[in-house]
């Protein structure tokens, strides 16, 4: 019976009548009930229209349950889009930082021993070299709060479209912030990009806290 039902529900273009036929076959094969499960008669030809209509409704209910569960799962995992995008941004800045540092050290023939003291490289480096390092450090501040919130929302199954949109807004402004910080570094523009990105995270945090405390 279970195998027949599985085949009926998983077939890509199977009609409800055909699905009911599968259930009839399963009921006849099981020999466990005289009239099958939910009124399935052993002889399909003797089935009353009302029985088959009830079967159709039962199958539709199962399909609907599966569909909404899948949609729910997709909605919950959607928060990992901006989650991993932020991680990928961190990776890009990390690679860029080392490319600038290695190029600077090689071009100026600086000995590694000269950089042993903490902060020595930052003192010697021009802004084009030090800014990517500062931006990388910045990516381990507010983004960490976003990571924590995203995981909490996923584990508690509270992810919705509003959280996902806010997450992508955060990512978009963080990408622009890193691009500005690592290149021409216009401070006022960088400030506003940072502000809007951070407001998106605080929006997520406040909305999550209000839901937690039942407001």
Residue 35 CB partners (closer than 8 Å, separation 6+): 41, 42
What per-residue confidence (pLDDT) applies to 40?
Answer: 46
Residue 126 has pLDDT above 70, yes or no: yes
Spell out the residues 6+ positions from residue 81 whose beta carbon is closer than 8 angstroms to its own. 164, 167, 168
Percent of the chain's residues with pLDDT above 70: 66
**Helix residue spans in the chain (DSSP H):** 2-10, 16-30, 49-77, 80-107, 120-124, 127-138, 142-155, 161-182, 187-212
30-89 residue pLDDT tens:
544 444 445 544 455 555 555 667 766 666 666 555 544 555 566 899 999 999 999 999
Q: What is the pLDDT of residue 109?
A: 84
> Is pLDDT at 12 greater than 50 in this prediction?
no
pLDDT at 72: 58
What pTM did the predictor assign? 0.68
Rounded (10°) angle between helices 80-107 and 161-182: 10
Report the mean per-residue pLDDT for the chain.
81
Confidence of residue 24 (pLDDT cuts 50, 70, 90): low
Query: pLDDT higher for 51 or 9?
Result: 51
Residue 120 has what pLDDT?
76
- Quick one: pLDDT at residue 62? 62
């Amino acid at each position: 019976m279970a195998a027949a039902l599985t085949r009926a529900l998983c077939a890509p273009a199977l009609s409800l009548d055909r699905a009911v036929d599968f259930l009839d076959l399963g009921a006849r094969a099981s020999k466990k009930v005289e009239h099958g499960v939910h009124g399935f008669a052993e002889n399909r030809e003797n089935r009353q229209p009302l029985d088959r209509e009830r079967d159709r409704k039962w199958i539709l209910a199962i399909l609907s349950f599966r569909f909404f569960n899948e949609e729910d799962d997709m909605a919950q995992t959607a928060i990992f889009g901006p989650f991993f995008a932020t991680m990928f941004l961190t990776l890009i800045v990390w690679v860029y930082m080392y490319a600038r540092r290695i190029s600077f050290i090689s071009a100026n023939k600086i000995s590694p021993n000269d950089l042993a003291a903490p902060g020595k490289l930052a003192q010697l480096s021009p802004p084009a070299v030090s800014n990517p390092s500062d931006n990388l450090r910045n990516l381990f501040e507010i983004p960490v709060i976003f990571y924590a919130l995203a995981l909490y929302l996923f584990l508690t199954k509270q992810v919705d479209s509003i959280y996902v949109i806010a997450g992508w807004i955060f990512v978009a402004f963080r990408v622009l912030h890193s691009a500005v910080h690592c290149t021409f570094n216009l401070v006022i523009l960088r400030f506003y990009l940072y502000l809007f990105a951070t407001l998106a995270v605080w929006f997520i945090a406040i909305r999550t806290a209000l839901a937690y405390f039942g407001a």
